[in-house]
Amino acid sequence: MTKEECSEIFAKLPEYLDGDLPPDVCESVAAHIEECGPCVAFVESLRKSVALSRKAAAGIEQAELKAEVKARLAEAYEQFRASGA
């Protein structure tokens, strides 16, 4: 996978995770993610961030949540960059 391909996938992730992509685009995103280790890690981190966001609705302090989300996304992005994808 190239860095450009991964960047295109990253741009589509919000709609992908929300189920808002056309079926053919959704399938191509899913296929890429299944074959690309750095994207798998990034998507897992993004899903954890979404779960943390849901906890915020249950009463977790916003500043704590923002720091955790930023830290997880930064970690996932650095892993992606280090992978050379």
7-17 per-position pLDDT tens digit: 888 888 888 87
Q: How far apart are CA 79 and CA 28, in angstroms?
A: 23
- How many domains are there within the chain? 1
Kindly write down the DSSP assignment for every residue of 5-72, as one continuous string. HHHHHHHHHHHHHHT-S-HHHHHHHHHHHHH-HHHHHHHHHHHHHHHHHHHHHTT--HHHHHHHHHHH
What is the domain range of residue 12? Answer: 3-83
Q: Rounded to two decimals, what is the model's pTM?
A: 0.58
pLDDT tens digits along 27-80:
999 999 999 988 888 888 888 887 877 776 666 566 666 777 778 888 888 888
Query: What's at 19, amino acid-wise?
Result: G
- What pLDDT is stored for residue 82 in this prediction? 85
